[in-house]
Amino acid sequence: MGFNAETLEQAVQGEPDWLLDRRRTALSSFERLPLPSRTDEEWRRTNLAGLDLPAYARFEQRNGHVPERSALPSGVIFEPLAIAAQRHASLIEPLLFSLVRADRDRFSALHAAFFTGGNFVYVPDGVTIDEPILGQHFSHEGGTSVLPHTLIVAGKGARFNYLDEYIAEGDETEGYRSGSAEIFVGEGAEVGYVAVQKWGRNAWHLADQRARLEKDSTLKLFNVTLGARFSKTRVEASLVGPGATAELKGIYFASGEQFFDFHTLQDHQVGNTTSDLLFKGALQDVARTVYAGLIRIEKGAARSDAYQANRNLVLSDKAKATSIPMLEIDNNDVRCTHGATVGPVDPNHLFYLRSRGIPERTAKRMIVQGFFGQVLDRIPFQQARELIEAELEARLG
């Protein structure tokens, strides 16, 4: 049947009119926009051959862990997005798909038109939540689409952590997957956001994570990519208030024939803002990864401080990592640093461990674990850190 008006009407019954209108507008963009071409810079190294979108026009809608209301402070909202859109339209309508724009490309339009599942998180001004909020999104069947969307709104001075976990019940599940998020960090707020993607190894995954940071706010965003045969993720932070700080970290481990593609943006729109990005990946077998990151310092953003680094550890002769750090600076009163490395395991490190009687396979695993340690140590809450460490250990054998 494919993704069309009939499919849309069947998938989203019972939604408020404003949301249905927004979906229809996104569907119009989807029908109008072509698939990205490899002549487009962002897609030049991305091969979409084999992606059959019409084959996945059947939807799963699953949401997992939602804590008891008593576990959350008064005024906090944590609900499935479809329910929250009816109950809290005044909060959601002005923000939903204002950062992850439907008209960006065909895949963004598809997500905005057909998103199913996902959560809405709202933490009012001055509220602190000590325990992390957990959102889980499940894939159970092959040949389907699972397109959850997370909308997070942090009020002035709010403080909390949130975990999005994308889970496939079977490792061989194929289909079309997404896992997009929009994060609004209010003045003086502190938000930790962790996304762990572990879809099945035959899945196609395309997602956007975009954040907007107001004055004196702090965002710690961690992206972990482990699953899918093909995964393309865009991580972007717009610093729109002085004193805003964005810490963007990523971990990815690719094996077999997996292909991972990352595009990041640190957009300093005003001055006295700080961003710190570090993406680290390891790849083995015949896996391929692409990282392209841009620091943009806009004309009025004096005294911005931005750092960007991408480090890749290549564990086999046939694996390949491509890294493209970029700067776009329209102000001369700034501090910007960027860099990238791609290389194999240091033979001296391996020799040292082997000389202590450690088998080569175990020694390599220890080196990879140490390689990721710099990022793992910065994850803002223990539950996510332990989850990611366990997942990495399982994949490293």
DSSP code per residue over 161-195: EEEEEEEESSTT-EEEE--EEEEEE-TT-EEEEEE
pLDDT at 139: 87
Q: What are the tokens at 130?
A: 């000590």
- Per-residue pLDDT band for 159 (boundaries 50, 70, 90) equals very high
User: Does 168 fall in a domain?
Assistant: yes
Distance, CA of 135 to CA of 79 (rounded, Å): 10
- pLDDT reading at 69 higher than 70: no
In a domain, 325, yes or no: no
Please say if the pLDDT value at position 383 is more than 50. yes
Q: Is the dihedral of CA 369, 372, 374, 380 positive or negative?
A: negative
Whether residue 235 is predicted with pLDDT greater than 60 in this model: the reply is yes
Does 6 map to a domain? Answer: yes
User: What average pLDDT does range 122-143 have in this prediction?
Assistant: 93
Residue at which a domain ends, from 241, 263, 295:
241
Contact (CB, 8 A) for 375 and 250: yes
DSSP letters, 52-114, are -GGGG--B---------GGGS-TT-EEEEHHHHHHH-HHHHTTTTTSSS-TTSSHHHHHHHHH
Top mean pLDDT of 30-39, 56-65, 186-195 is at 186-195
Mean pLDDT of 22-31: 96
pLDDT in the model for residue 366: 86
237 and 350 share one domain: no
pLDDT for 174 equals: 82
Domain count within the chain = 2
List of residues 6+ apart from 199 with CB closer than 8 A = 139, 146, 166, 167, 168, 173, 177, 205, 227, 228, 231
Residues 59-84 have a mean pLDDT of 75
Residues 367 and 235 in one domain: no
Q: Which residue has the tokens 């956007």?
A: 208
Sorting pLDDT into bands at 50, 70 and 90, what band is 64? very low
pLDDT (mean) for 81-93: 95
**Domain end marker among 241, 265, 299:** 241
CB count, 10 Å around CB of 198?
21
Residue 281 lies inside a defined structural domain of this protein: no
Which residues, listed in sequence order, are joined to residue 138 by a DSSP beta bridge? 167
User: What's the domain range around 6?
Assistant: 1-241
* Residue 270 belongs to a domain: no
Residue 162 counted as domain residue: yes
Question: Which of 52-66, 139-153, 243-257 bottoms out in mean pLDDT, i.e. has the lowest?
Answer: 52-66
Instruction: Say yes or no: 353 and 236 in one domain.
Output: no
Per-residue pLDDT at 70: 53
- The C-alpha atoms of residue 282 and residue 292 are separated, in whole angstroms, by 16
Mean pLDDT of 333-357: 84
This prediction has a pTM of: 0.95
Q: What percent of the chain has pLDDT over 90?
A: 74
Higher pLDDT, 364 or 215: 215
Q: Which pLDDT band holds residue 1 (cuts at 50, 70, 90)?
A: low
Asked, for residue 388, whether it belongs to a domain, the answer is yes
Same domain, yes or no: 359 and 237: no
pLDDT at 171: 66
